[in-house]
Amino acid sequence: MATNQVIVIQVKDEDGNEDRYFSEINNMPDMLIEVGGDSNGTNTTFHVHQSVLHESSSIFGEICETEKDEDMTNIPIFGVNPEIFHHLIFDIYGGMVSNNILRVHAKDIIEAADRYGVEKLKLKAEEMYLEQNAITFDNIMDTLLYSDAKNCTIIKEVVMDNLVRLSDTAFVQELSFKGVPGHLMKDLLTAVVRGVGGLAVKVKDIDERQKESDEKWKARQLEIKERIEAERAERLSWQRETDERLNQMKAENDEQLAQMKAENIANKKEIDERLDKTEDDIAHLKKFTQAKYRKAILLSFIVGLLSSVTIEYVFACILGYT
């Protein structure tokens, strides 16, 4: 399908049985597809572009070439549910069919997509089919035949891988390959080879991972050992530094104590000298004070004596004049 072909609008008529699809360049549809199969017996008309269908599928391309006409081409299609056919056309025009729709209508979409060669939608439907339907011992052969009949590549591969895994169990003895086409044996052998090769790859991968794990473990051990040695060296360095600081602090304390002791001795000597000098000063002051005191007493006596004589003389003079 050309990259410039996308769904722009979808229009249904009043009865809900007509779809119109338009391309990005907005050219009008040039093909009508009448799809039967409605439970009411009515057909659904799809207005599509021959160029879009021709590029999307080789089968649609053959139909377009066969029915090519100058006027509007009308092609009837039977045996397909119109809703399922709508999902095909929707996907061809670039629409995204939801996973929920693919799960619900997986087998119908696979059948219609296989019938008209819409491979991309078919592969998506196969994946959704496998999500909804587990491969078990009871359905494995029916699923294998179904996948072969509908050319389901993904489902067939999963079934073959399950058959290879079952070959290691007792269940394989109960399996019946009656009615299985011969060409599937080649696919089964291919799956066996793929499984063995995958097992060898897994074993090699496990060995490589184990080797890588061992190398990482050795590297981890070496890293831990180096870290322990580094921490030990750091602790020793810290211990030496601490001891050096303690010794330095002790030496500084001893020096300070010796200095303080010398200062105390010097201060005591200085104080003693000051005390001795003070005592000498006190003794000298005492002597000086005593001498002064004696002088003062003597002077007072002399003054008193002179005063007494003077007074008597004055009185005598006074009395003599009288």
Assign 191 a pLDDT band (cuts: 50, 70, 90).
Answer: low
Q: Is the pLDDT of residue 152 over 70?
A: yes
316 versus 66: the higher-pLDDT residue is 316
* Interaxial angle between packed helices 153-166 and 119-132, expressed in degrees from 0 to 180 and rounded to the nearest 10: 40
Round the average pLDDT of the chain to a whole number and report it. 77
Q: What pTM value is reported for the model?
A: 0.51
**Within-domain flag for 160:** no
Determine the Cα–Cα distance for residues 75 and 91; give it in Å rounded to an integer: 19
Q: What is the CATH number of the domain that holds 105?
A: 3.30.710.10
User: What local confidence, expressed as pLDDT, does residue 123 receive?
Assistant: 92
What's the structural domain count of the chain? 1
Residue 61 lies in a domain: yes
Question: Does 2 score more than 50 pLDDT?
Answer: no
With contact defined as beta carbons under 8 Å apart, do 121 and 147 qualify? no
Domain of residue 6, residue span: 1-133
- Would residue 88 count as lying in a domain? yes
Residue-level pLDDT at 60: 83
Q: CA 94 from chain center: how many Å?
A: 35
Q: What was the pLDDT predicted at 1?
A: 36
d(CA 168, CA 165): 6
- Residue 70 falls inside a structural domain: yes
Which residues of the chain form beta strands (DSSP E)? Answer: 10-11, 18-21, 31-35, 44-48, 73-77
Q: What is the pLDDT of residues 262-300, one digit of tens each?
A: 888 888 888 888 888 888 888 888 888 888 888 888 888
Question: Token pair 């002790």 is at which residue?
Answer: 250
Give 122's contacts (C-beta < 8 A, 6+ positions apart): 109, 110, 113, 114, 152
Backbone φ/ψ region at 57: left (φ over 0), alpha (ψ -120 to 50), beta: beta
